[in-house]
Amino acid sequence: MLKSVQYKGKLVKKLLLILLVAPIAIFASDSHSVNTDIVERTVNFIIFVSIAYYVLADKAKDFFSSRANDIKSKLEQVKELKAKSEAKKNKAQEKFDNATQLAVQLVEDAKSDINSIKNTIEDNINHDIKQLSKSLDEKCDIETKKMKKEIVEEILEELMNDENISITQDNLSTIILNKVA
């Protein structure tokens, strides 16, 4: 505030000096000048501009300095907003990259799991087929033995019931061995 008062005082002194010197310079010219009112108008204009400057200078300076401060504060806000936006963008990009990597990993894991399950199922099916084949072979063997036994029993029963045939123990053993083999 003190500086603006000192500045105004210097300005007023300069203005008064100009106002005092200007008429001297004007009247020092030729005496046979044209009769116009340009000199008076110029002096009046200078006085008007000086008074207008004296009255409006502080308000204009305050207006422009406050406007500059407003612009600076808005610029800072925009810079902060830009920095926050960049940070959010970088964080979102990082999350996107992580999600992409996770998705790729999940797809690879799924393929691996599918192959593992497929191999396990194939192994189980092959094992079941072998078991069924083995079981079928065993059942066939059992049925074959059962049929041989039934045939032997039928033959023995026929031989035993037939009175015309005399069979000794040795003959019976030989017949049975021949039929079983």
Q: pLDDT tens-digit profile of 44-95?
A: 999 998 888 888 888 888 999 999 999 999 999 999 999 999 999 999 999 9
pTM of the model: 0.40
CA distance linking residue 90 with residue 67, whole number of Å: 34
Asked if 47 contacts 19 with a C-beta cutoff of 8 angstroms, the reply is yes
Asked if 113 contacts 145 with a C-beta cutoff of 8 angstroms, the reply is no
Q: Where are the domains of the chain?
A: 144-180
- Non-local (6+) Cβ contacts of 6 within 8 A are none
Query: Residues, the chain, total?
Result: 181
pLDDT-based confidence at residue 173 (cuts at 50, 70, 90)? confident
